Structure formats: structure tokens, C-alpha cells
Amino acid sequence: MLSNNELKAVCSVTEMAGKLGLSRARFYQLQKTGVFPAPVYCVRTKRPLYPLDLQQECLDTRKTGIGHNGQPIVFYAPRKKESRKLPNRQDPEHENYADTLKQMGLTVTPNKVKKAIGELYPDKLKKPLDEGDVIRDLFRYFSRRL
């Protein structure tokens, strides 16, 4: 949580929600049910603001789990940022064939190459395949389908 040194004299609703680790929409929901205190409004601009004492009360509510209305509230832990997962990698052999066919002017994906190899060589495991023959057969296979 933030200490008093990190609080500003006043903050906006967006800033208050951010300090609490909530979205603005969720903060407004909880404010409407009385979990968080209502903001004060600037007379001149009619903008909702949270002065220092209300900021501290909101932070205390988040910390203790007891709302402004005296009711207990459970806050879930903030979500961890998901690391970008690499796309599901295909068999490098199929990727190499797809790249070679792209250099030859065909637009194919490794999945299409895998499917084509399955159709062209159903008994692939019985005999080793020559790379040149496979590329030739794949080129013919895809050329007929375009």
C-alpha cells in the first residue's frame, strides 16, 4: 500500500482506483454499495476528487477488508501480468518445408505441410524420406490445389 508520503493533496477517481489496484468501473461499483466513501466535488469544475483523508480511508478499506459502510469486503489478488507465450511451435521439419515452398512461390503453412505429408506418405515411418523428393511432391501437391 502507499504511505502518507506518496499521497497527493487531492486525486481523481481514476488515480484513486489505480492506487487501490481496481478498475474505475469496479471502484464505482464498490463506491455505490458503500464500500468506499463518495468523493467530494469541486464547486467550480464539479469534478469528483478524493482529498487526503478520503484517500487514506480508501486505502485502509483495501488493507483491512472492512468497508466504509462497516461491511466486510473480500478483494481478490491482482492478476499477474501474463507473459507472452510463443505460438505453439510446429515440427521444425514442417516449418522448413513450408519456408522452402514459400521461396518457390507457394503460400502454405506448416500445418498444411503436415497434413499433405500425411496424405502423400501414409507409411512415412517405414522408409526414410529424401528431402528433395518430399519438396518436389509437396510442390506438385499444392500446385494442383491452387
The domains of the chain, with CATH numbers, are: 4-64 (1.10.1660.10), 92-145 (no CATH)
Residue 83 has pLDDT above 60, yes or no: yes
Residue length of the chain: 146
18-39 pLDDT, tens digit each: 999 999 999 999 999 999 999 9
Residue 126: per-residue pLDDT? 63
Q: Which helix (H) or strand (E) holds 134?
A: helix 131-145
Q: What is the pTM of this model?
A: 0.52
β-bridge partners, 48: 41
Residue 49: strand, helix, or coil: strand
Q: What average pLDDT score do residues 121-145 get? A: 82
Is the model more confident about 59 or about 75? 59
